[in-house]
Structure 1
Amino acid sequence: MRVTHNTLSRNLLVNLNDVSNKMQKMQTKISSGKRIEKPSDDPVGITQSMNFKTNITELEQYSANISEALYWLKSTSSVLSNTEDVLFEINDLGNRGGSDLMTEGQRGVLADQIDQYLEDLVDLANSNVSGKYILGGTQTLTAPFSAVKNAGGTITSVTPNPEGINGEIERVIGKNQTMVVNSKGDELFQPVGKDIFAQVIQLRDALREPQATFEASEVETCLDNLNTSLERVINENSNTGTKICRLDFIDHRLGLEILQDTEKLSDLQDTDYAEILIKYQAQENIYQIALNMGARLIQNTLLNYI
């Protein structure tokens, strides 16, 4: 078969164009830093990269949920710790006031101090974080407790939010995993028959009894009830601490998984500069050789064959 000069020229141009296209694609990958620009570049790889991206997005959402849950739980733990401190102080004042050696006036001073701590307890029970009440259940925009006062400004009782303060706030912390992140104000401060506010009020009023009617046994009963409530608060704080530790562990694990998937995604879709520069240099050499061969071919005229 006779190969004409036109055929050689046409084949040369086709090959030069093919090499040029390959170099153009490599230049795009080098400049963009992406090995896969469109599905046709690597159909299998693009599917895998989409799966990695979806998984990373889910893991990052779980991590964000955990961060929010930790903030809520740590705020709750701080309130519970402060509540413990206040109850310890009230207990100490009660023990001192229960002594038969105390005078009516001295007990009255202690009762006034307990009354101030009662105000602190109500404030702690109504603690809020970023405008949300942490012990109000799902009713986070309304104060969970209201103090009822007499004409003299003394607290006589504390009532809960009538809308309810026992709702649970849950956060998704993993695939098919949720966690209740709030402490219920009613179970903590006002379980049936064990109302902390009522117990403190009862102790305060017992210490204000006149000397003639004062009963040390009544103070002792109040202190026993308060100790039971204090133990309840301590247990709740311990449970909260356990949740914090668990979330810290899960969040650390999620961080490692996100890092691993991000590295795999990078290996899959990002340009390997060392490899592609070598390939680009090879194509550039081929292109230059083809140009040189083409130049020699074009120089051949009819005079070369005479």
Structure 2
Amino acid sequence: MTTRVTQGMLNNQLLRNINTNLTRINNHQNQLSTGRQINKASDDPVGITFSLRYRSELSANDQYETNVDAAVSWLEYTDTMLAQSGEVLQRARELTVKAATGTNPQQALNAIKSEIDQLRAQLVNIGNSEFNGKYVFNGQLTDKAPYEEATAAGATVDHGEIKFEIGVGVRIAANMPGNKVFGEPYDPNDPVKQNNDNLFRVLDDLSKSLEDGSIPGIENALGRLDTRMDVFLEARADVGAKLNRIELAQARIQDINTNLQTLQSKTEDADIAEVITNLKTDENVYQASLSVGSKIISTSLVDFLR
């Protein structure tokens, strides 16, 4: 059975073809204006799934980079405070060595005592250092100063760690509680805490020995200061090791970002030269379809009767 083709069918088919040509032109114009070959999910359903995955991973890496920057800033500030503490401690040691010679009159020992007291006050200030409005040596209680000058030797600081996530399942503590720097709190009524480890207690004992002119007490304080100096060096080494690890993580994040951006570009970005070529081809086809269509539509019954 032969299908009868009517003029209406020809007209409808012509309109469909013209609309198809216009759609292709519109798609290529969108790609040209946006520079992307995927502007909506229907453009490439498979490609859009990869694109969304790359975007999600890039967003996560952006957060990791922010965390890395915050951790580096915190550790660098902590290292600066440790360096300042080390300078104060070194000065205290120099004065103690001078006082331990046994040739100083009491007036000289009193002068040394006065400077030791000032150095202790400076260490309390360093112990209460703030970074971005947060106390760096009080664990997770960053809104509270850990030390008071009068009771610094017996102060109990928070031991909590402030951890930053610098990768998938990778977290690193950027803070250093004060007890790891200045020593555990001293408590004369607690046998467990009757120790000579606390730096503020060492300076208190040194100050008292200088006031009393006790050379054995001064010599004892000198050995304890050397022990505390070793602790400061260990603390700075720990901070340095963490900074090195974070720098490696930072380089890894940057490499991953570069790879993801390359993959995203291959998936999403349009080949501009190809898009322009296809657009010009579609425009020529569209003009040709309009030209052919004008001849089909102009045909009427009068044309057949001529």
* Equivalent-residue separation in structure 2 for 1:86 and 1:45 (angstroms): 61
Q: What is the correspondence of 1:143-292 to structure 2 with a 5 Å cutoff? A: 143-148=145-150, 158-161=153-156, 164-191=157-184, 193=195, 194-209=197-212, 214-292=213-291
Alpha-carbon offset, residue 298 of structure 1: 4.6
Q: Which moved more, 1:1-10 or 1:193-202?
A: 1-10
2:187 equivalent in structure 1: none
SS in structure 2 at match of 1:138: coil
Of 1, 9, 13, the residue aligned with 1:11 is 13
Alpha-carbon offset, residue 169 of structure 1: 1.4
Q: Which moved more, 1:71-80 or 1:183-192?
A: 183-192
2:189 equivalent in structure 1: none
Mapped contact 1:137–1:184 kept (Cα < 8 A): yes
* Equivalent-residue separation in structure 1 for 2:303 and 2:171 (angstroms): 88
Q: Which moved more, 1:119-128 or 1:30-39?
A: 30-39
Q: 1:53 and 1:303, CA in 2 relative to 1: closer, same or farther beyond 3 A?
A: closer
Alpha-carbon offset, residue 6 of structure 1: 4.8
1:81 equivalent in structure 2: 83
**CA RMSD for the aligned pairs?**
2.1
Mapped contact 1:147–1:159 kept (Cα < 8 A): no
Mapped contact 1:146–1:159 kept (Cα < 8 A): no
Alpha-carbon offset, residue 12 of structure 1: 2.6
5+ unaligned residues in a row in structure 1: which ranges? 149-155
Q: 1:41 and 1:205, CA in 2 relative to 1: closer, same or farther beyond 3 A?
A: same
Q: What is the correspondence of 1:113-124 to structure 2 with a 5 Å cutoff? A: 113-124=115-126
Mapped contact 2:139–2:175 kept (Cα < 8 A): yes
SS in structure 1 at match of 2:289: helix
Aligned-residue identity in percent? 27
1:57 equivalent in structure 2: 59
1:153 equivalent in structure 2: none
TM-score under structure 1 length normalisation: 0.88
* Equivalent-residue separation in structure 2 for 1:176 and 1:279 (angstroms): 47
Mapped contact 2:47–2:267 kept (Cα < 8 A): yes
5+ unaligned residues in a row in structure 2: which ranges? 185-192
* Equivalent-residue separation in structure 1 for 2:223 and 2:146 (angstroms): 26
* Equivalent-residue separation in structure 2 for 1:282 and 1:104 (angstroms): 101
* Equivalent-residue separation in structure 1 for 2:31 and 2:64 (angstroms): 33
Mapped contact 2:153–2:198 kept (Cα < 8 A): no
SS in structure 2 at match of 1:167: coil
Alpha-carbon offset, residue 13 of structure 1: 2.6
2:105 equivalent in structure 1: 103
Alpha-carbon offset, residue 249 of structure 1: 1.8
Alpha-carbon offset, residue 260 of structure 1: 2.3
SS in structure 1 at match of 2:154: strand
Q: Aligned pairs, how many?
A: 293
Q: Which moved more, 1:103-112 or 1:255-264?
A: 255-264
* Equivalent-residue separation in structure 1 for 2:203 and 2:85 (angstroms): 13
CA offsets 1:15-60 (integer angstroms, 9 cap, x no match): 1221112112222232333322222211111111111111111111
- Give, as a single letter, the amino acid of the residue that structure 2 aligns with 1:133: Y
Alpha-carbon offset, residue 291 of structure 1: 2.1
Mapped contact 1:160–1:186 kept (Cα < 8 A): no
Alpha-carbon offset, residue 217 of structure 1: 2.9
Q: Which moved more, 1:170-179 or 1:258-267?
A: 258-267
